[in-house]
Amino acid sequence: MLKRVVMGDTKPIRAFLAIELPQDTHGLIESVKERLRPALKGIRWTRAEGMHLTLRFFGNIFPDDVDRISEVVERNTGDVVPMELALNAPGVFPSLKRPRVLWLGVGGETDRLTALQVAIERDLEKELGFPGEGRSFKAHLTLGRAQARGGTISGVSDLLEMAGDLSAHRFDARELILFRSELKPGGAVYTKLARFPFGGTRQGDG
């Protein structure tokens, strides 16, 4: 069932659409971060509660937009079959020569995930006027960012060896969640505004 949060104010809110990770996946990611931590310098690590598989970051929207966005997302997820995803090797954006973002790759049924993201993005722009992000979707989990503005992360040359092989870990994506992100002195606080369960059924399921 779709669950929505009713908001009474009209102030802009920061929002994004994402897949929430299972607890065992969170645990594995934290162990990867611990293995990488001694070698990497100049990095601001993503807190565990901030680790989501983001499909679309909206930035600031108004509370009235939540229902309009929800209608688009709900329509696109209604017939989607749950997806099996996997953790992949780490990497950096934009390049190894200038690493500013450290991420963990996501594998598995990413073709289907990308198709869903593209469909939602298309309808958001066509029906609601939300401009596209201007870059192709690449499923990943952000582990950390360069600490200094304009700076880089050092020590990334041996990422693959340090992280180890993560491909055996798989997890199911069964819904999308529209999150609100509030920036607080102690870090961002995340609130679920709407949930969009995948309505399809795998062949052979009951």
Q: Tell which residue, 195, 194, 196, has the closest CA to residue 7.
A: 194
Q: In this structure, what token pair is assigned to residue 91? A: 């990497």
Confidence of residue 11 (pLDDT cuts 50, 70, 90): confident
For residue 106, tell me if it sits in a domain: yes
For residue 7, tell me if it sits in a domain: no
Query: What does the alpha-carbon distance between residue 88 and residue 17 come to, in Å, rounded to a whole number?
Result: 21
For residue 100, tell me if it sits in a domain: yes
Query: What does the alpha-carbon distance between residue 92 and residue 62 come to, in Å, rounded to a whole number?
Result: 33
pLDDT of residue 187 exceeding 90: no
pLDDT in tens, 52-108: 999 999 989 998 899 999 999 999 999 999 999 999 989 999 998 999 999 999 999
Q: Structurally, how many domains does the chain consist of?
A: 1
For residue 5, tell me if it sits in a domain: no
pLDDT of amino acid 159: 83
pLDDT of amino acid 9: 62
For residue 115, tell me if it sits in a domain: yes
What length does the chain have?
A: 206
pLDDT of residue 132 exceeding 60: yes
pLDDT of amino acid 8: 55
Domain of residue 56, residue span: 25-197
For residue 16, tell me if it sits in a domain: no
For residue 54, tell me if it sits in a domain: yes
For residue 202, tell me if it sits in a domain: no
Q: In this structure, what token pair is assigned to residue 86? A: 């996997």
Cis peptide before 12 (omega within 30 of 0): no
**Which CATH number covers residue 185?**
3.90.1140.10
Question: pTM for this one?
Answer: 0.89
